[in-house]
Amino acid sequence: MKLQFWGVRGAVPTPGREYLRYGGNTCCTVVTGAGGELVVLDVGTGFCQFGDTLLSGPFGQGRGQMVVLLTHTHWDHILGLPFPAVVHMPGNQLLIYGPERTQDILDVMLAPVYSPVYGLAHMAAAPVFHTITTAPVVVGGLTVRAWPFSHGHGAQIWAYRLEEQERSLVYITDVRYESEVIRQQAVEFARGADLLIHSAPYTCSEQVQNHGHSCIEDAIETALQAGVRRLVFFHHAPERSDDDLDALLEHWRGELRARGASLALDAAAEGPQVEV
Amino acid sequence: MLVRIWGTRGSYPVARAEMLHYGGNTACVEVRAGAAHIVLDAGTGLRGLGEALRREPVPGGRRIAMLITHTHWDHILGFPFFAPIHEPATELAIYGLQRTQVSLRATINGAVSDPLLPMGLDSLAARLDFFELGDNAQIELAPGVLVRTARANHPYHALAYRIESPAGVVVYVPDTGPFHTVLFGDERVVWDGMPTTCPERLHTLARMREAMVALAAQADWLIYDAQFTPAEYTRFPHWGHSTADQAMEIAEEARVRELILFHHDPHRTDEELAQIERDQQARARPGLHVRAAFEGMVLSRG
């Protein structure tokens, strides 16, 4: 199972020199299975650049297949969908799993008042939609599990766990744990994973307002209690520059060392594909 | 008159090393004219303007007129991230195209409300007023500061704006196709690469072109859609965008002083844009200046 980040930023893209090393495109993470299975976690603006790379493969000939897993339908997780040329080529197959009403919501996103596509019906790679549930989904050699959490403000997100043989990756973003009981569900969901990608836009002290996110501290506690090998901060706040992220990582790595924890810590960065 | 360009990119914002100079944020241009403080479109560049306004006092206080050409995503993406909308002292007058199908307020509110964003216009601290305009409107934003509109040739309609004050004229046409191939309107158009032969449409296009040239007449700056290269234009369904040559044709006919190429394609690198800029400069008639818009570009007169 290979992993590549194409968009790591939350809320709004941040083009600019001070965001280049980690990246300024919004949420899009691509997992490739050993058998070539393609699973895309969220389709923020990072999906535009990723989609362009597909033209040289089967997608360029209208024979591509991908599974898209949506956590929820806020802008920074869906707005990249209509832009790559490959989604406008008949024959390509997009299987989209998301919350209830995802199809209707994406149809609104592509309505003529917002988009020159004039509605989902005009995306030639006619996507097929499935409402995500907690029942496992098999994608070739990968097994996908999902679990619902709160995003605060009454909104919901779905977390995903991808497993391939002994390897496992968990993706929890835009979560706001409303109680310790609920956070313990995340601990169970992430239990023993090789990699936990977790939204971490703000520390508890930075989070003066409720932006619908848990704190960085929650991500770390969850990773430690779940016994994951590596935690990757994701959904960086738009105001967080590369240097800020370096400092943040250094601080929390120091804290982990001081606690004698073996948890490896990184911040998601747009860049090359890595083995999980 | 002072014009500052905060976002130059079309279609979608791009964060890439190869695009740092011209910039990856989508359409947003600030204009200060007389007592008016104006923002043209609310693409992601708007976020940077909001940050800047925290540091700088603005003549006219916290009153801002936002002129929206149309509500495709790349023109509204910055709206929720514009810091002044969260400040009670801000008075934001939002202007946009009048449609029979849906109000401007409902369109923007829908974009920033659940399930697309957890915001909603009613929750904002700033005072918002919405004004809907036709495609041949004229309003006085402040004493001596006139705004005129024309219809751009773009899917589901879009406006073009002229801002005129004694200190200068800037004309903003970020999204328009040319006026000889295909007419965009309410209905979705599938373009097969052949110019329309329908006499009625050709007539409408000719009148739109005349109105566009009149809108741009003698402008100090014409900020104009130049998304495509000629090769791309023939190859793709063009979705209502122009080439730099087509922009230059309008600029020359309207006798503008400087053409600012705008709405850069999201794939266009700095290197490619610099080349386009040089080519167009070499081709321009004497008296017409041509530059490509870059993030942070300042145009001023008076």
A60-93 residue pLDDT tens: 999 999 999 999 999 999 999 999 999 999 999 9
Q: From residue B274, how far is each of B12, B192, B227, B261 by CA, in Å?
A: 20, 31, 14, 11
Predicted complex: ipTM over 0.90: yes
Distance from CA of B156 to the nearest CA of A (A): 6
Instruction: Provide the strand spans (E) within A27-183.
Output: 28-32, 38-41, 65-69, 93-98, 128-131, 137-139, 142-152, 155-164, 167-172
| Of the candidates B240, B122, B224, B148, the residue with the CA atom closest to the CA atom of residue B188 | B240
Lowest mean pLDDT among A87-101, A148-162, A177-191: A148-162
| B78 contacts on A by Cβ (under 8 Å) | 12
DSSP tag of B161:
E
Which tens digits make up the pLDDT trace of A209-250?
767 888 999 999 999 999 999 999 999 999 999 999 999 999
Distance from CA of B53 to the nearest CA of A (A): 16
Whole-angstrom distance, CA of residue A159 vs CA of residue A175: 8
Distance from CA of A117 to the nearest CA of B (A): 8
Three-state DSSP state, B209: helix
Interface of A with B in 64-83 (CB under 8 A): 72-75, 79-80, 83
Whole-angstrom distance, CA of residue B36 vs CA of residue B59: 8
Q: Does A264 touch chain B (CB under 8 A)?
A: no
| Of the candidates A190, A256, A201, the residue with the CA atom closest to the CA atom of residue A228 | A190
Three-state DSSP state, B57: coil
Q: Which amino acid is at B81?
A: F
Q: Does the structure show a pLDDT above 70 at A49? A: yes
Whole-angstrom distance, CA of residue A36 vs CA of residue B139: 59
Of B13, B71, B81, the CB nearest to A113: B71
Q: Which residues pair with B261 in a beta bridge?
A: B224, B292
Contact: A13, B239; criterion CB under 8 Å: no
Residue with the two structure tokens 């307002």:
A209
Which tens digits make up the pLDDT trace of A107-140?
999 999 999 999 999 999 989 999 999 999 999 9
Contact: B81, A11; criterion CB under 8 Å: yes
pLDDT range class, residue A208, cuts 50, 70, 90: low
Interface of A with B in 109-128 (CB under 8 A): 109, 112-116, 118, 122
Q: Considering only CB atoms, which residues of chain B are within 8 Å of chain A?
A: 9, 11-17, 19-20, 23-25, 44, 47, 71-73, 77-78, 80-81, 99, 101-102, 107, 110-111, 114-118, 154-156, 186, 188, 239-240, 266-267, 295
Q: Is the dihedral of CA A6, B7, A117, B128 positive or negative?
A: positive
DSSP-derived pairing of the beta strands B221-225 and B258-262: parallel
Q: Does the structure show a pLDDT above 80 at A153? A: no
Which tens digits make up the pLDDT trace of B128-166?
999 999 999 999 999 999 999 999 999 999 999 999 999
H-type alpha helices, chain A? 46-53, 75-78, 102-109, 180-190, 216-226, 242-258
Interface of A with B in 222-261 (CB under 8 A): 238
Query: What is the reported pLDDT for B233?
Result: 87
Query: What is the reported pLDDT for A211?
Result: 73
Q: What percent of chain B has pLDDT over 70?
A: 98
Contact: B101, A80; criterion CB under 8 Å: no
With CA atoms as reference, the chain B residue closest to A105 would be B115
Give the predicted TM-score (pTM) of the model.
0.96
Whole-angstrom distance, CA of residue A80 vs CA of residue A44: 5
Contact: A15, B15; criterion CB under 8 Å: yes
Of A19-28, B48-57, B226-235, where does the model show the most confidence? Answer: A19-28
